[in-house]
Copies of this chain bind each other. A is one copy, B any other.
């Protein structure tokens, strides 16, 4: 149905939470992240495991363990995290497999998927977590000043 997976959403919210942390050295436990963002802890743990493998976070086991970002928030894009947990985005099979369409060279639908994908990926790769985190802060401030 053309929808983003919960996995990607949860992972993004998790990374966003870490991006907002002042202390970038002390690990943050998965339980804290999950509670703060309102997502299932066990599931988030799985997701952070793969984020670790892909090199976006570093994990510390044991007492006072948890996760730390390995890059600064401005270096991490939405696309990075989406693709880390869902694998590469392909709007349509014919964009993966050359020869999926019986006659690639005359199929005009091809081009539409290609262009749509290019635009979508371009947009997601232009969104980084520094901006995102700051825009969240700004929103919170605005809300506060109103009340």
Contact with B along A88-110 (1 / 0, CB 8 A): 01111100000000100111110
Residues of B within 8 A of A3 (CB): 2, 90-93
> Which residue of B is nearest A1, CB measured?
B86
Q: Mark A1-36, 1 if CB is under 8 A from B, else 0.
A: 111110011001100100000000000000000000
Contacts of A106 in B (CB 8 A): 136, 139-140, 143
Contact call B105/A143, Cβ cutoff below 8 A: yes
* Interface residues in A, total, Cβ within 8 A: 43
Copies of this chain assembled into the complex: 2
Determine the distance from Cα of A116 to Cα of B124 in the docked complex, in whole angstroms. Answer: 8
A18 to chain B, nearest CB (A): 14
Q: For residue A140, which residues in chain B have a CB less than 8 angstroms away from its CB?
A: 106
- Pick the interface stretch among A42-50, A52-60, A61-69, A127-135: A127-135
8 pairs of A and B residues whose beta carbons are closest in the complex: A108-B136, A108-B135, A106-B139, A106-B140, A108-B132, A4-B92, A2-B89, A4-B91
Given contacts A9-B92, A108-B136, 8 further A-B contacts (CB under 8 A): A1-B86, A2-B8, A3-B91, A4-B92, A9-B109, A38-B102, A105-B139, A108-B139
